[in-house]
A and B are shown apart, each in its own frame.
Chain A
Amino acid sequence: MDERPHIEIQNLSVWYGEQRALKDISVAFPARGITAVIGPSGCGKTTLLKSINRLLETSDNVRISGRILLDGADIYAPGVDVTEIRTRVGLLASKPFPLPMSIYDNVLYGPRIHGLCRRDNADAIVERYLRAADLWEEVRERLQTPAHALSTGQQQRLCLARALAVEPEVLLCDEPTAALDPISAQRIEDLLRGLKRHMTIVLVTHILRQARRLADYVVFLWLGELVEAGPAEQVFNNPLSERTRAYLMGDIG
């Protein structure tokens, strides 16, 4: 943790209507590596995640206060271009949502809307990111078929390829294996392990074993409050908080 943190959350509170989902969270995410956000369902993990790419504000009736610094600059400051934030901070959702177009066009969706795709580099972009998501060999013969024809596991890797194609510096993963069979889940985990060398990954999961396998750092949330954050080693083996210990032991949550 000696580098400057990549993402710094300062006094973040979120309300859905009258209900407060996050209470005054302050936490830092180190650059590169995987930070796992753990905690029981409904404790605000996904809310925290979606505040980092400003997807939260697209829902009705949400109020957000506090600051989130990405490389030191507040992403909620007035005048910030939200599409630029979302280009830098990618998302892998819990359920794959292939866009209603071909596999090929799914990968190119991001580069196209940002005007980064020309006729002569399109094929190369598609191949590069499908390889990065370990999907190329399975789909190279049928790039023009509709993406929803793929299996769920393949769809999720396509979504990963699509997210990587805009070259984000942060990847938010919202229980990315929740909808997958164990083998597909394994492949996603392997991919994340490879990606963390180049990018900062925030992984929301309620599977403790997954967090143990993947995490370099751990953030533990409980009912909208931050209980503990620190290197995985420390949080898992030597938690400071009694509540963390109880959660890890399976006594609560």
Chain B
Amino acid sequence: MKRVALRRATDQTAKHITAAVSAATSLLVVFIALVLLVRSWPIFVTRPLSELLFSTTWKPLQSAFGYYPFIMGTLWVTCVAMVIAVPICLLVSIYLAEYASRRVYAMVKPLIDVSAGIPSVIFGIWGVIMVVPLVQKLAASSIGRSLSRLPLFEVHNPTGYSVLAGGIVLAVMVFPVIISVAEEVIRAVPTGLREASWALGATRWQTIKYVVLRHAAPGVLAAIVLGFSRAFGETMAVIMVVGNVPRVPRSLFDAAYPLTALIANSYGEMMSIPLYDAALLGAALLLLVIVLLFNLGARLVLMRMIRYR
């Protein structure tokens, strides 16, 4: 009898402990957001939001806290990354889901999944030793000089530490995120739908273009948004290659200073400056809110797609 009672008590305890830990974990994000909100409150009450978001001056010693150059830095780097990543990821996803034989798929898919787990500092290092010199050479080459006449391509900064380098590194980092989701979404398109198109005499490519991708479009979009939010919030790899100059970039070869880099580089230094702490945490809150919203939107779309099936 005693044994049974003990076993039942253990069972109950296990249930309560696991439930408590789960609750704590899921509430963590709320808790973090709250802390950020409370600690950044002083900056939001002393300055209008428009000034914080659109002022280009970041001079903590003079109490000027404009996020604009950093927001633009983040946007530039993220957008360049997405421009590079999206077409490549789409092609890879289509190949893996529609054309690849089982053997090829079994070889390539684990490779892509594993690369999602590579620590970002390794991408950063790779960026410093491979991408930055490449961008530097490109900027100095005749191609760079002729490109320089075009807007968005002017070379003011010959170092290679630039928006372009950051974009390339980030693009490579988000490949596995986008590919694994997009590939699965494309694969999940019902076979009967493909057969309906083939049976009318459509080629494989026509079927992919007009039927499969159209059916999978919301999910593919969600995959892209997930990649976007990953790139948006990435810190380590970006910090190492973008140059970190707090100025609004005007060209791919300019240096940039994304929000993430600002927080990581500045937090903990010169904390005696009034409002400095609140300003940095405000930037962190901004980042968190944007990334959360993107993630939420993407997941909602994916959930709805799965429910329809």
Q: Which residues of A contact B (CB under 8 A)?
A: 53, 55, 58, 60, 83-84, 86-87, 90-91, 93, 95, 97, 99-101, 109-110, 113-114, 159, 162-163, 166
Q: Bound state CA distance, A47 and B206, in angstroms?
A: 25
Q: Tell yes or no: B211 within 8 A of A by CB.
A: yes
Which residues from chain A contact B211 at a C-beta distance below 8 Å?
A: 99-100
B196 A60 Cβ-Cβ under 8 A: no
Which residues of chain B (179-213) have a CB below 8 Å from chain A? Answer: 190, 192-203, 206, 210-211
B200 A90 Cβ-Cβ under 8 A: yes
Which residues from chain B contact A93 at a C-beta distance below 8 Å?
A: 192, 195-196, 199
What are 26 pairs between A and B in contact, CB < 8 Å?
A55-B195, A55-B199, A58-B195, A60-B102, A83-B201, A83-B203, A86-B198, A86-B201, A87-B201, A90-B199, A93-B196, A93-B199, A97-B193, A100-B211, A100-B214, A100-B215, A101-B214, A109-B197, A109-B200, A109-B202, A110-B201, A113-B203, A113-B210, A163-B199, A163-B200, A166-B200
User: Closest CB-CB distance, A50 to chain B, in whole Å?
Assistant: 8
A91 B197 Cβ-Cβ under 8 A: no
Q: A60-B102, A113-B206 are contacts. A91–B195 as well, Cβ < 8 Å? A: yes
Which residues from chain B contact A86 at a C-beta distance below 8 Å?
A: 198-201
A contacts with B: majority SS:
mixed
User: Closest CB-CB distance, B138 to chain A, in whole Å?
Assistant: 42
Closest to B216 in A: A100
Closest to B189 in A: A100
B201 A113 Cβ-Cβ under 8 A: yes
User: Closest CB-CB distance, A112 to chain B, in whole Å?
Assistant: 9
Closest to A59 in B: B191
Q: Bound state CA distance, A93 and B211, in angstroms?
A: 17
A91 B193 Cβ-Cβ under 8 A: no
Q: Bound state CA distance, A248 and B170, in angstroms?
A: 67
Q: Bound state CA distance, A52 and B155, in angstroms?
A: 62
Q: Bound state CA distance, A191 and B122, in angstroms?
A: 65
Which residues from chain A contact B202 at a C-beta distance below 8 Å?
A: 83, 109-110, 113
Q: Which residues of B contact A (CB under 8 A)?
A: 102, 190, 192-203, 206, 210-211, 214-215
Q: Bound state CA distance, A67 and B292, in angstroms?
A: 59
User: Closest CB-CB distance, A101 to chain B, in whole Å?
Assistant: 7
Which residues from chain A contact B210 at a C-beta distance below 8 Å?
A: 99, 101, 109, 113
Most buried by A among B194, B197, B202, B215: B202
Q: Bound state CA distance, A90 and B197, in angstroms?
A: 11
Q: Bound state CA distance, A57 and B221, in angstroms?
A: 31
Q: Bound state CA distance, A164 and B195, in angstroms?
A: 16
A99 B197 Cβ-Cβ under 8 A: yes
Q: Bound state CA distance, A99 and B211, in angstroms?
A: 6
Q: Bound state CA distance, A148 and B192, in angstroms?
A: 14
Q: Bound state CA distance, A93 and B193, in angstroms?
A: 10
12 extra A-B contacts, CB within 8 A, seeds A109-B200, A113-B203: A55-B198, A58-B198, A60-B102, A83-B203, A84-B201, A91-B195, A93-B196, A97-B190, A97-B192, A97-B193, A162-B200, A166-B200
Which residues from chain A contact B200 at a C-beta distance below 8 Å?
A: 86-87, 90, 109-110, 113, 162-163, 166
Q: Bound state CA distance, A53 and B195, in angstroms?
A: 11
User: Closest CB-CB distance, B196 to chain A, in whole Å?
Assistant: 4
Which residues from chain A contact B203 at a C-beta distance below 8 Å?
A: 83, 113
Which residues from chain A contact B193 at a C-beta distance below 8 Å?
A: 97, 99-100
Q: Bound state CA distance, A84 and B211, in angstroms?
A: 19
Closest to B212 in A: A100
Which residues from chain B contact A109 at a C-beta distance below 8 Å?
A: 197, 200, 202, 210
User: Closest CB-CB distance, B20 to chain A, in whole Å?
Assistant: 45
Q: Bound state CA distance, A169 and B214, in angstroms?
A: 30
6 A-B pairs closest in CB distance: A87-B201, A91-B199, A110-B200, A97-B196, A97-B192, A83-B201
Q: Bound state CA distance, A60 and B102, in angstroms?
A: 8
Closest to B207 in A: A113
B201 A166 Cβ-Cβ under 8 A: yes
